[in-house]
Amino acid sequence: MSNRPILIRANELHAKLNDPNLAIVDGSWHLPNANRDPFFEYTSGHIEGAHFFDIDEIADRSSGLPHTLPTNEHFANCVGAMGISNSDEIVVYDAAGMFSAARVWWMLKSYGAQNVRVLDGGLPAWKSAGFAVTDKKPSPNRVEFVAQLNKDQTVPLPQMREFVKAGESQILDARGAGRFFGQEAEPRAGTRSGHMPGATNVPFSTLLNDDGTFKSNEELSVLFSNQGLDLSAPTIATCGSGVTAAIILLALELIGKTDARLYDGSWAEWGSLSDTPVEID
C-alpha cells in the first residue's frame, strides 16, 4: 500500500474492485487544442465500474468560463446519479496519467466527499500493470449525495484582485513557462499572454515523473523549497482554467499543506479581462 493515502496504486485498486463501497471515476479532460474526445475514449475502454465525470457538464454553464464550479444542487444531482454517496471510497483517474483527475479529486472533496483518492499514474499505469479495460458502462442506482461547497477551498475574482494587489499571498501558476512568461499564445482566443504580478511559475509537469506518477514527497518538498515556498503562508494555485492548478494542490497536500486554495476562474478569466494587471517577464 502507498504511504501516501491520497494516492492509490493500480494493483491496490485492482484488489478493491469488488468492494461495494468503492466508486471509480474517470475524470479525463483535454485542452481544446488537443483534438481529443474524453467521453469517446471512455466509452472505448475504461476501468471496470468507472463512471465518466464530465467537468464541462458538472459546471456552471452560465458563467461564460470553462468548467467553473456548479451549484450545490447540480453537483449533488450529477454525482448522486452515478450512485456515489459522500461516504464512499472514491478513486479518480484520467487517461493522461495525471492531468484532470486532480481537478475532480478537488471538486469532490470540496463538495463534501469524505474519502477521495487518485490513481497514481492514471489509466496508463493501470494498463501498464496488465489490468483490463472494458467498454461496458455501469448502470448505477441513484443515491443521495449531499453537496455543500466549502468556499474556503476556492478564490473568486474580487478576492483574487485584492490578493494580487496586496502581494501577500503566494500565487503558484501551473501553466508551462512559455505561457507564463508570455512567449506562447494561450489556447483560448481573446486571452492575453503572461501572468499575474507576483506569481511563481510551478509547471504541473515538474511535479510528476515521466510516467505521470507523482514525484516522492522528498522531491516535492525540495521543488517547492527551491521556489521559495513558505508552507505556513497563504497559498493560491492557478492555471489556464482551474484544472492543472489542482495538481499543485494535491502535491502540496502530499507534503502536509492542506489549506491552499484554487482560483477557479484562473487565466481563462484573468487573462480575458482588460483591467487585470498582467506581466510577461
| All domains in the chain, ordered by first residue | 7-149 (3.40.250.10), 152-270 (3.40.250.10)
What is the rounded average pLDDT of the residues 25-37? Answer: 92
Torsion of CA 206, 36, 34, 246, to 10 degrees: -40
Res 36 pLDDT > 60 = yes
Q: Kindly report, residue by residue over 106-143, the tens digit of the pLDDT.
A: 999 999 999 999 999 999 999 999 999 999 999 999 99
CB count in 10 Å sphere of residue 201: 16
Backbone angles phi, psi at 23, to 5 degrees: -125, 130
What is the rounded average pLDDT of the residues 17-22? Answer: 96
What is the share, in percent, of the chain residues with pLDDT greater than 70?
99
Identify the CA nearest to 270 among candidates 201, 212, 188, 200: 188
- C-alpha grid cell for residue 116? 477521495
The mean pLDDT value of the chain amounts to 96
Res 168 pLDDT > 90 = no
Active-site annotation holder among 239, 245, 247, 250: 239
Q: Kindly report, residue by residue over 212-244, the tens digit of the pLDDT.
A: 999 999 999 999 999 999 999 999 999 999 999
Q: Kindly report, residue by residue over 178-201, the tens digit of the pLDDT.
A: 999 999 999 888 899 999 999 999
Whether 239 is catalytic: yes
Res 3 pLDDT > 80 = no
Spatial contact of 247 and 98, defined as CB atoms under 8 Å apart: yes
34: pLDDT confidence band, cut at 50, 70 and 90? confident
pLDDT given at position 1: 38
What is the rounded average pLDDT of the residues 82-96? Answer: 98
pLDDT given at position 160: 98
